[in-house]
Homo-oligomer: A and B are copies of this chain.
Amino acid sequence: MKGKRRSKNHDPEQIEFVGLKYLDEYYIQLFDYDKLKSKEIHDYNQINFNEFNNFNRVYWLNVNGLHDSRPIKNICSKLGIHKLVLQDILDTNQRPKMQEFENYIQFSVKSILPFLNDHLETEQISFVLSKNYLLSFQEKKGDHFEHIRRRIRGNTGIVRERGADYLLFMLLGAILDNYFETVEAIEDKTNQITSIDARSNPHPDTVLQIEKLKQDLQFVKKNMEPFKTAIGSIEKGMNFIEDRHLKYYYELKDHSSQLLDEIYTLIIRLESATNMFFSLQGYKMNQIMKTLTIISTIFIPLTFIVGIYGMNFDVMPEIHWHWGYYTIWGIMLLTIIIMLIYFRRKKWF
């Protein structure tokens, strides 16, 4: 794996990939909605950018593999995209954002990948939306749009009719869906922890798991909030997004709010679970201490009593009494009974 985990943000001249390499080689998918065809391109020089000026058509150019910056630089320079956008595309540590330019809108979001080895990960996907084309860029750790591609291939009518902004909405929706699935997975784990383990067996691993889930939720929240902000900044009168499609974007924002609500609710539940855990730990400690105290409190005085009559003094009248031994037994039994009554009253057992 190549790549630096962090971007040197201060250097506007530096235009290179920042992140981890996953794909061996880049490849580009070009969807032409009118010709009803999609083709896979492995050499970026083969793209015919003249076609893109045909405003009657809708194109989706999906670039997989950011580690090779040449095709992306080429595409951006051909389509007149600002150097800062190019940098944002190549630097996969960007915060989700939306930026409006004169000739296009830039959208950078994080798509969440399914839990892998109990580890949450996101992948940056950048979009450039113009009048009749949508560009998308990703290193492609996971496949986020397969079912959309399938639907497009099957029935291209609706997108062609509705344009590139509608396609972008569908892709963002697919990304949002992944978040929902992740939060549901976390919810399932929360249910597991809170219903069985935490109550019967307060092992510190439970706290570990709870804290892990809290951090996962924070991770989702951290990526979700700027996503919502970015979508929320889409409003009436923007270029490239038709007003009749605005309601779809509002819907997306609404679903983001709903997801954040659910995350918040889960965090509250996990905090409850932490409280529960500590309470149980304290309770168990109390139980253990009670057992120790009952046993000690009963037997330590008794041991003292029998110790007395184990002494070897020449003069100890009691030990010569005929009923001495039995009397002692009586005293000891009485002591036990009194103590048991005392503990019972204190509700210790």
Tell which of B283, B309, B347 touches A281, judged by Cβ atoms closer than 8 Å: B283
Tell whether A211 pairs with B95 under 8 Å between CB atoms, given A292-B297, A307-B303, A308-B306: no
Nearest-CB residue, chain B, relative to A82: B247
Q: Which 4 A-B pairs have the closest CB atoms?
A: A10-B173, A306-B307, A309-B311, A211-B272
**A316 contact set on B, CB distance < 8 A:** 312, 325
User: Does A254 belong to the interface (CB within 8 Å)?
Assistant: yes
Contact assessment for A281 and B281 in the assembled complex, using a CB-CB cutoff below 8 Å: no
Query: Given A254-B95, A284-B286: A311 and B310 within 8 A (CB)?
Result: yes
Interface residues of A (CB under 8 A from B): 6, 8-13, 82, 84, 93-95, 97, 158, 169-170, 172-174, 176-177, 180, 184, 199, 201, 203-204, 207-208, 211, 214-215, 218-219, 222, 226, 247-248, 251-252, 254-255, 257-258, 261, 264-265, 268-269, 272-293, 295-297, 299-304, 306-316, 318-325, 328, 346-348
Complex CA distance for A268 and B211, rounded to whole angstroms: 10
B268 touching A215, Cβ below 8 Å: yes
| A295 cross-chain contacts in B, Cβ below 8 A | 296-297, 300-301
Residues of B within 8 A of A276 (CB): 204, 207-208, 211
Interface pairs (28), CB distance under 8 Å: A6-B180, A6-B184, A9-B177, A10-B172, A10-B176, A12-B169, A94-B254, A95-B257, A95-B258, A95-B261, A97-B254, A199-B208, A201-B347, A203-B283, A204-B280, A207-B275, A207-B276, A288-B289, A303-B307, A306-B308, A306-B310, A309-B312, A312-B316, A314-B319, A314-B322, A314-B324, A315-B325, A316-B325
Q: Does B12 contact A248, Cβ atoms closer than 8 Å?
A: yes
Measured CB to CB, the closest approach of chain B to A204, in angstroms, equals: 4
Number of copies: 5
Contact check: which of B97, B174, B311 meets A325 at CB < 8 Å?
B311
Residues of B within 8 A of A11 (CB): 170, 173
Q: Are A277 and B278 in contact (CB under 8 A)?
A: no
Q: How far is the CA of A348 from the CA of B285 in the complex (A)?
A: 11
- The smallest C-beta distance from A13 to any residue of chain B, in angstroms, reads 7
Residue of B nearest to A148 (CB): B10
Q: Which residues of B contact A184 (CB under 8 A)?
A: 6
Chain B residues near A325 (CB, 8 Å)?
311, 313, 315-316
Query: Which residues of B lie under 8 Å from residue A306 when comparing CB positions?
Result: 304, 307-308, 310-311
Question: Nearest Cβ in chain B — how far from A347, in angstroms?
Answer: 7
A14–B304 Cα distance when bound, in Å, is: 78
